[in-house]
């Protein structure tokens, strides 16, 4: 429909087309599945595994040189350190891993000097290169029953909760594409050139039809939305710190839609969402949001900037790269440059953001988990070589 071709699922390595959504769901309980439920729970009884729950890593400890030896932890106000026999592995995620590095003296010398944090190694790439996917939508009143009644009709909400708890049913679909030529003609030459740098099988946008509305409504009408995300972005944000206290949040500046190219893609994507919304055949009356008054490209961009959120697929703040790349933080084994025995295994080391969902689906297939499996092999290899010395 509308140029989207049916493809056999999003775990084939192919994204352009439409298919049923891949969800990380336990098929029996129909509840969200996670690394904790899928992997950790199965291994908790191993004698060589000890999990410190509700514990905050506060900083990394090094010996006199640059070898990571332990991690300082806080559990319910008690501070203690855990020593590593072989190496320290960080998996605190795209925002917290750079925070922990910076608080431990690994990062841009200039930033650390300003904060008065003693420099361990000057890695200017820590906290840079933040990529994420902006997410926004157009919404309609529709002539079919949708999930929007769950926010406006108490008995429908109670029934839905009961259905979920007793039957665990549901179905979703979505699609990815490069914007069709009828929209691309509106791009400037420089935007076309920049977008041409993405591989031909990388979609630019994702379309997620939703039987709901993301802005508050109080009436009893039924609402549906065409939610859209920009999958291949050119805006690059940062993460930094203004304190070495890990109980405080790091400072994030995602710089969403800060490039001309992303802005042009966003505007054309919203227009594409409008076309798809109208084609559903269930729309009643005018478009509800942003509404027909939002017409010009400038109006559309202003609306997107005001209402957009993130698709939560941030990556890249401790990027993997070659030794000669001064912005790289880790090598291809996840080992942090400039220090010893410190490895990172999380989405912060993606050098770029592939289209798709960082945990669930993508051109690189189950991306964070694939990365973890690959680096687990490296960790095992280094264990074997350490034991054979
Ligand atoms: C709301 C939301 C919805 C998402 N939905 C989807 C989806 O549907 N499909 C999909 O593919 N992706 C989804 N994602 C993205 C996906 O969850 C992430 O890309 C993925 O979890 C990243 O894995 P990670 O291992 O890098 O980090 P995380 O999964 O974030 O793991 C980092 C862990 O480190 C812990 N931690 C952080 N700092 C410290 C510290 N100082 N001390 C101790 N522990 C610490 C955190 O508590 C966390 O458990 C979603 C993300 C969010 C936020």
Decide if pLDDT at 189 tops 90: yes
Does ligand 1 lie within 6 Å of residue 359's CB atom? yes
Q: Which residue is listed with tokens 């009356």?
A: 285
**CATH classification of 52-130+315-387, choosing from 2.40.100.10, 2.20.25.90, 2.40.30.170, 3.50.50.60?**
3.50.50.60
Residue 96 alpha carbon, nearest atom of ligand 1: 38
CA dihedral 327, 336, 115, 124 (to 10 degrees): -10
178 Cα: distance to centroid of ligand 1 (angstroms): 28
- SS3 of residue 79 by DSSP: strand
**Tens digit of pLDDT for each residue in 258-284?**
999 999 999 999 999 999 999 988 899
- For the Cβ of 343 lying below 6 angstroms from any atom of ligand 1, the answer is no
Q: Which of 367, 342, 374, 372 is nearest to 100 (CA)?
A: 342
- The H-or-E segment that residue 73 falls in is strand 68-75
Cα 92 to averaged position of ligand 1 atoms, centre (Å): 8
pLDDT of residue 268: 98
Ligand 1 neighbourhood includes 107 CB (under 6 angstroms): no
Ligand 1 atom closest to 348 (CA): 26
> Does the pLDDT value for residue 15 go beyond 50?
yes
Select from 69, 31, 36, 67 the least CA-distant residue to 53. 36
What DSSP string describes 118-172?
PPSEE-TTTT--BB--EEEEEEEEESS--TTHHHH-HHHHHHHHHHHHHH-----
Cα–Cα distance measured from residue 21 to residue 179, given in angstroms and rounded to the nearest whole number: 20
Residue nearest to atom 21 of ligand 1 (CA): 359
| Per-residue pLDDT, 12 | 77
Write down the pLDDT at residue 215: 84
Q: What is the pLDDT of residue 171?
A: 44
Which residues are 67's β-sheet partners? Answer: 340
Distance 38 CA to ligand 1 centre (A): 15
Structure tokens at 213: 């509305």
So what's the pLDDT on residue 366? Answer: 66
Probe residue for ligand 1, chosen from 55, 312, 344, 372 as the CB with the greatest number of ligand atoms within 8 Å = 312
pLDDT for residue 64: 82
Could you state, in order of their start, the residue ranges of all structural domains in the chain? Answer: 17-25+134-236+255-310, 52-130+315-387
Using a 10 angstrom Cβ sphere, with 0-12 exposed, 13-18 middle and 19 or more buried, the burial of residue 369 is middle
Ligand 1: which residue has its CA nearest to atom 31? 93
Specify burial of residue 24 (Cβ count, 10 A radius: 0-12, 13-18, 19+): middle
Q: Which residues of 274-296 are buried (b: 16+ CB within 10 A; e: fewer)?
A: bebbeeeeebeeebbbbeeebee
Output the pLDDT for position 269.
98
What mean pLDDT do residues 351-363 have?
83
The residue-averaged pLDDT of 169-179 equals 72
Q: Measured in angstroms, how far is the CA atom of residue 93 from the centroid of ligand 1?
A: 6
Residues 21, 174: Cα–Cα separation, whole Å? 6
Task: Identify the weakest region by mean pLDDT among 30-39, 110-119, 153-162, 332-341.
Answer: 153-162
User: Residue 167: is its pLDDT beyond 60?
Assistant: no
Whether pLDDT at 389 is above 50: no
Mean pLDDT of the chain: 90
Tell me if residue 207 falls in helix, strand or coil.
strand
Distance CA 362, CA 203 (A): 10
Is the pLDDT confidence value at 168 over 70? Answer: no
Burial 148-171 (b: 16+ CB within 10 A, else e): bbbebeeebeeeeeeeeeeeeeee
Question: Looking at the domain that runs over 17-25+134-236+255-310, which CATH code has it been given?
Answer: 3.30.560.10
**CA 90 / ligand 1 centre spacing (Å):** 13
Write out pLDDT tens, residues 216-265.
Answer: 888 888 899 999 999 999 999 999 999 999 999 999 999 999 999 999 99
Calpha distance 241→250 (Å, rounded): 5
Are residues 19 and 6 in contact, defined by beta-carbon separation less than 8 angstroms?
yes
Catalytic residue flag (residue 201): no
Among the residue ranges 190-199, 280-289, 296-305, 334-343, the one predicted with the least confidence is 280-289
Catalytic: which of 131, 201, 312, 313? 313
Q: Which residues pair with 336 in a beta bridge?
A: 330
| Tokens, residue 30 | 């129909």
The ligand 1 atom at the shortest distance from the C-alpha of residue 361 is 11
Token code pair at residue 235 = 């805006």
Is the pLDDT assigned to residue 169 strictly greater than 80?
A: no
Percentage of the chain with pLDDT > 70?
Answer: 91
pLDDT for 32 equals 80
Query: How high is the pLDDT of residue 25?
Result: 77
What pLDDT does 9 receive?
Answer: 82
Residue 175 has phi, psi (to 5 degrees) of -150, 155
- Rounded to 10 deg, the angle between the 297-307 and 260-279 helix axes is 90
Decide: 96 in ligand 1 pocket, CB within 6 A.
yes
Q: Greater confidence, 198 or 8?
A: 198
Ligand 1 pocket, residue 347 CB under 6 Å: yes
Ligand 1 pocket mutation pick from 132, 170, 313 by most atoms within 8 angstroms of CB = 313
Q: How far is the CA of 43 from the centre of ligand 1 (A)?
A: 20
Q: Is the pLDDT of residue 163 over 80?
A: no
Measured CA to CA, the distance from residue 373 to residue 191 in angstroms comes to: 36
CA-to-CA distance for 337 and 349, rounded, in angstroms?
12
Which residues does residue 174 pair with via DSSP β-bridges, in sequence order? 19
Is a pLDDT exceeding 50 seen at residue 121? yes
Percentage of the chain with pLDDT > 90?
70
In this structure, the residue with its CA closest to atom 4 of ligand 1 is 312
Tell me the pTM.
0.92
CB of 312 within 6 A of ligand 1: the answer is yes
Q: How confident is the model at residue 353 (pLDDT cuts 50, 70, 90)?
A: very high
Per the model's pLDDT, the better-predicted residue between 168 and 77 turns out to be 77
Ligand 1 centroid to Cα of residue 156, in Å, is: 32
């Amino acid at each position: 429909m509308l140029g989207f071709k049916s493809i056999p699922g999003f775990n084939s390595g192919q994204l352009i087309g439409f298919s049923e959504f891949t969800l990380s769901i336990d098929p029996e309980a129909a509840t969200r599945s996670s690394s904790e439920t899928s992997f950790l729970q199965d291994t908790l009884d191993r004698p060589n595994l000890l999990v410190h729950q509700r514990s905050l890593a506060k900083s990394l400890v090094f010996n006199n040189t640059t070898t990571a030896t332990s991690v300082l932890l806080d559990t319910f106000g008690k501070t203690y350190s855990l020593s590593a026999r072989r190496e320290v592995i960080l998996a605190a995620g795209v925002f917290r891993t750079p925070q922990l590095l910076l608080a431990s003296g690994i990062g841009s010398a200039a930033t650390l000097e300003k904060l008065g944090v003693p420099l361990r190694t000057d890695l200017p790439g820590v906290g840079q290169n933040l990529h994420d996917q902006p997410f926004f939508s157009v919404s309609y009143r529709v002539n079919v029953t949708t999930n929007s009644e769950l926010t406006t009709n108490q008995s429908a909400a109670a029934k839905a909760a009961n259905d979920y708890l007793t039957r665990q049913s549901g179905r979703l679909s979505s699609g990815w594409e490069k914007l069709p030529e009828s929209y691309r003609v509106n791009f400037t030459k420089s935007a076309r050139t920049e977008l041409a740098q993405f591989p031909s099988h990388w979609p630019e946008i994702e379309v997620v039809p939703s039987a709901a509305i993301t802005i508050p409504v109080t009436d009893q009408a039924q609402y549906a939305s065409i939610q859209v995300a920009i999958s291949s972005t050119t805006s690059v944000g940062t993460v930094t710190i203004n304190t070495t206290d890990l109980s405080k949040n790091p400072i994030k500046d995602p710089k969403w839609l800060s490039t001309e190219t992303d802005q042009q893609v966003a505007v054309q994507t919203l227009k594409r969402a409008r076309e798809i919304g109208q084609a559903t055949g269930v729309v009643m009356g005018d478009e509800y949001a942003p509404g027909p008054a939002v017409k010009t490209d400038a109006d559309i961009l202003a609306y997107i900037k005001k209402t957009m959120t993130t698709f939560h697929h941030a990556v890249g703040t401790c990027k993997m790269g070659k030794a000669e790349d001064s912005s790289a933080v880790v090598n291809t084994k996840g080992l942090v440059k400039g220090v010893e025995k410190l490895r990172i295994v999380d989405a912060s080391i993606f050098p770029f953001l592939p289209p798709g969902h960082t945990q669930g689906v993508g051109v690189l297939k189950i991306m964070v988990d694939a990365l973890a499996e690959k680096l687990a092999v490296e960790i095992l290899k280094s264990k074997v070589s350490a034991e054979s010395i």
